[in-house]
Amino acid sequence: MVNQHGYYLEDLSIGITSSYEKTVTAKDIDAFAAITGDTNPVHLDQEYAANTPFKARIAHGMISAGLISTVLGTQLPGPGCIYLDQQIKFRAPVYIDDTVIAIVTVEDINQRRGRVILKTQCYVNDKLVADGTATMMVDKKS
């Protein structure tokens, strides 16, 4: 097995950014509901969802949060980091076949504690759908 490691604390700087893009399908929403048990009909039942303010099925908000987790765990800071905290506000719905872009940006680095604060955002067609911050524990080189 190849030693895989993302950024070390010393390699990070404020302003570094990374992103991940995914088109959310009905199959993704159904699978998420099956895995988590969140079977709220606004996510699964088109007839029900048509009578809500959204007028159609929407993705679980935590799918967007999961895309943020993808960036954090695989890219920035990447493998080796530990996800400690996430604050998130869901600003707008994600519909079936929307393409979500999760963007993570380093906002603060605490060298002494080995902690990094990152801005976490998701967009659909330039519209902010999720906004928050994450705290990560990141390894030092030595």
Judge whether 93 and 125 are in contact, CB under 8 Å.
Answer: no
Residues 105-116 as b/e (b if ≥16 CB within 10 A, e otherwise) read: bbeebeeeebbb
Model pLDDT for residues 31-85, shown as the tens digit of each residue: 999 999 999 999 999 999 999 999 999 999 999 999 999 999 999 999 999 999 9
Task: Name the superfamily (CATH) of residues 9-137.
Answer: Hotdog Thioesterase (3.10.129.10)
Judge whether 18 and 49 are in contact, CB under 8 Å.
Answer: no
Read off the tokens for 110: 């605490």
Residue from 58, 137, 41 nearest 98 by CA: 58
Work out the mean pLDDT of the chain and round it to a whole number.
96
- % of the chain beyond a pLDDT of 90: 95
Taken as a whole, the chain contains a residue count of 142
Q: CA 130 to CA 138: how far, in whole Å?
A: 24
Q: How far is CA 132 from CA 39, 67, 141, in A?
A: 25, 13, 28
State residue 1's pLDDT score: 57
Q: Hey, which bits of the chain come out as E strands?
A: 17-23, 82-90, 99-110, 115-124, 127-137
State residue 4's pLDDT score: 84
